[in-house]
Structure 1
Amino acid sequence: MKRQNRGFGLIELLVALALGLIVVLGVVQIFIAAKNTYVSQNSAAAMQEDARFVLSKMIQEIRMVGMFGCLGTITDSSNAGDFNAAQITPINWDNANLKLTLVTADIGGGGGTPTWTVLSDCRNSATAYTGLRSPATGQISFPVRRLIYSFSNNQILMGTGSGNPAQQVLVNNVSAFNVTFGVASSATDVAASTYSTNPGDPALIRSVRLSLTLADPNNRVRNQTFNVVAALRNRLQ
């Protein structure tokens, strides 16, 4: 009587190895897919956070454009006599050079040294001075800043001050940035009827639309475009 053979044959071993390899490859594919999803979601979240930061900052300042104190008439006593021009055109988009200029109240007083300070008793007089000024008895101070946002070399930059101030990078990997204005058909209309990049009459501007497109430098996700609209709280001159 022959003893029963024990162990695996070559064919059985090859089949087992093949099945094991298939299982391992499946697990590896699942791991790679999960990792790619995680990386792409992180990249998308980082882009959304960058967009939220820069757009929320700009929207907050746009809403304060044209706010120069409690009186409509302000005497310009600035060193260069440049406050009146800023007051007339407190918001401007240079489409050729991709620069957005804002003249806005210093929100919360935390923006550093203001470009101008308006001192007023909110009854009879209001005067604009260059830089920071302390109010006298019975006066209120309104810090006003001139901000310049620009789009250059795939970056959004910002500078503050008169003339051509030095600019600092706010966000990188920007593939497109655009500004359009909601324009009313007449001075008495509250709502905007059309949008324009270069409105002829600043007094007809009712809102500002910002469009920002961010790209992932590693091409892990597609370009993402973010759009926001802010209504102007203060009527322009």
Structure 2
Amino acid sequence: MQGIADYDFIRPLGSGNHGHFFLARRPRRLPVDVEFVAVKVLHAESSDVAFRRATRELAAFAAVRSPYLVTPIDAGQQDGVFFYSMEYLPAGSLADPAEPYTTVQGLRALAAAARAAAALHAAGIAHRDIKPGNVLLHPDGGRLSDLGLSQVFAAGVTVTGMGGLDAIEYVDPALLLGGAPGPAGDVWSLGVVLHRVTTGTGVYGDLPESDGLLALRRVLSTTPRVSDSLPGPVADLVRECLGPADQRPDAATLADRIDGIQP
């Protein structure tokens, strides 16, 4: 794809929920002092589906003002295809960094993501797809990105979609079984990311990368295991995040406790 509207794409940045990300030069009409932006182009299975998905993402962004969320810049539609642009963070993500990051940098980014999640929760929104690829590195710590699966949590509302294969190990199994989204599910995800940042491994071991059904079966049939290499306080925090939903710390508390980790 060469571009959309007045955005000229430079290169792909990867795929997210129901769309692809591209690096683009900022159109002159945009009143922001940056050279590059990231553009998400949503898949258009049908115009109605695409419209609902686009408006849900943009509504989630509009509902919350947090310095720890990626900043949206512009949105539009061309030939039935919806897109929006946002700030571009060249350092990459915890999953695909531009250069290797230290454990301290990873923890700072994760604490920022937890604070972004807390802001979403205060607005009644669950992110539902917190994973290393959506935790972006920033000189100030990090930013939480991609609200493509975000959903208002309310009684009787259940999960209506899932992310890619790389998201399965970070999803609360209760949600995979049809449970309602909410803050506790995001805290589970943050706990699993914390485990990976501090150990380099997942709580389910190595999951098959090309067989989503097998990975899903593994997650649903395996008890998460916290690495013996983790210091006691960090291991305890991960276990709390993976514990019973009503006993998990809230995202703001989790952020503060991550800040207190001494790797």
| TM-score, with length taken from structure 1 | 0.25
| TM-score, with length taken from structure 2 | 0.23
Larger % of helix: which? 2
Larger % of strand: which? 1
> Which structure carries more relative contact order (alpha carbon 8 Å, separation 6+)?
1
